[in-house]
């Protein structure tokens, strides 16, 4: 099943929460709260702006204990926060990967992993694709648990599905 995952912009934008709520009621399956500049208290306030009914669709990148406190659906791990603690079992677990080797290592204990950048980034200037699409299509690592991230636009979906990705992460195409 093809899944779409949205990412919050690092800096707040007008009507951000309202837009995320609408996207979650539409084609976006999950939304990742990635706000590195917010304090724990500011992140808490941000989470409280979402209705209870949608919080299971939210995944948090920073302050993972807030996932337990506010019954969020998932936590996101990465090289800065790589440990899956027992207290988070039962939550959706995702991980950021930047190589096929890393995908091979991490997807065994995750519900899904992101591989990036697949295309040149929309939101991060100079963050260019690091992959050959033909090599990805021939890779045994790309499957339903691997989601494409980086430069993703709706017009890429068909190609990404043909390569074998299970979904895609959207940031720049939502907020730019």
Residues 171 and 176: their CA atoms lie apart, in Å, by: 8
Cα–Cα nearest to 117, from 106, 108, 109, 125: 125
Alpha helix (H) residue ranges in the chain: 16-24, 40-48, 65-69, 100-106, 133-138, 157-163, 172-175
pTM above 0.85, yes or no: yes
Peptide bond before residue 55 is cis, with ω within 30 degrees of 0: no
As a whole number, mean pLDDT of residues 88-100 equals: 93
| Distance from C-alpha of 97 to C-alpha of 114, rounded to nearest angstrom | 6
CA distance 143 to 22: 28
CATH of the domain at 48: 3.20.20.70
Mean of pLDDT values over 68-79? 92
| Residue 50 lies in domain | 3-175
Number of domains the chain is built from: 1
Q: pLDDT tens across 6-59, in order?
A: 999 999 999 999 999 999 999 999 999 999 999 999 999 999 999 999 999 999
Least confident of 32-41, 47-56, 84-93, 96-105: 84-93
pLDDT value, residue 152: 95
Beta-carbon contacts of residue 155 (< 8 Å; ≥ 6 apart):
none
Q: For residue 17, how many other CB atoms are within 10 A of its CB?
A: 14
Q: Which of 172, 33, 75 is nearest to 116 (CA)?
A: 172
State the average pLDDT for the chain: 93
Q: Which residues contact 114 (CB under 8 A, 6 or more apart)?
A: 5, 94, 95, 96, 97, 146, 147, 148, 149, 169
Distance of CA 150 to the CA centre of its chain: 11
What's the pLDDT tens digit per position in 120-165? 877 777 777 889 999 999 999 999 999 999 999 999 999 999 999 9
Lowest-confidence segment of 61-65, 66-70, 120-124, 146-150 by average pLDDT: 120-124
pLDDT at position 49 is: 97
pLDDT for residue 80 is more than 90 = no
């Amino acid at each position: 099943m093809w899944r779409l995952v949205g990412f919050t912009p690092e800096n707040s934008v007008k009507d951000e929460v309202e837009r995320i709520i609408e996207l979650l009621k539409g084609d976006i399956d999950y939304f990742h709260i990635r706000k590195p500049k917010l304090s724990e208290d500011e992140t808490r306030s941000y989470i409280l702006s979402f209705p209870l009914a949608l919080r299971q669709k939210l995944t948090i990148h920073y302050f993972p204990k807030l996932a337990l406190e506010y019954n969020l659906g998932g936590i996101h791990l990465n090289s800065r926060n790589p440990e899956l603690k027992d207290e988070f079992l039962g939550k959706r677990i995702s991980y950021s990967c930047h190589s096929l080797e890393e995908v091979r290592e991490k997807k065994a204990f995750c519900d899904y992993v992101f591989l990036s950048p697949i295309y040149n980034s929309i939101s991060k200037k100079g963050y260019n694709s690091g992959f050959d699409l033909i090599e990805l299509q021939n890779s045994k690592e790309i499957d339903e648990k691997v989601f494409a991230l980086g430069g993703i636009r709706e017009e890429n979906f068909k190609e990404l599905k043909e390569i074998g990705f299970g979904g895609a992460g959207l940031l720049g195409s939502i907020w730019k």
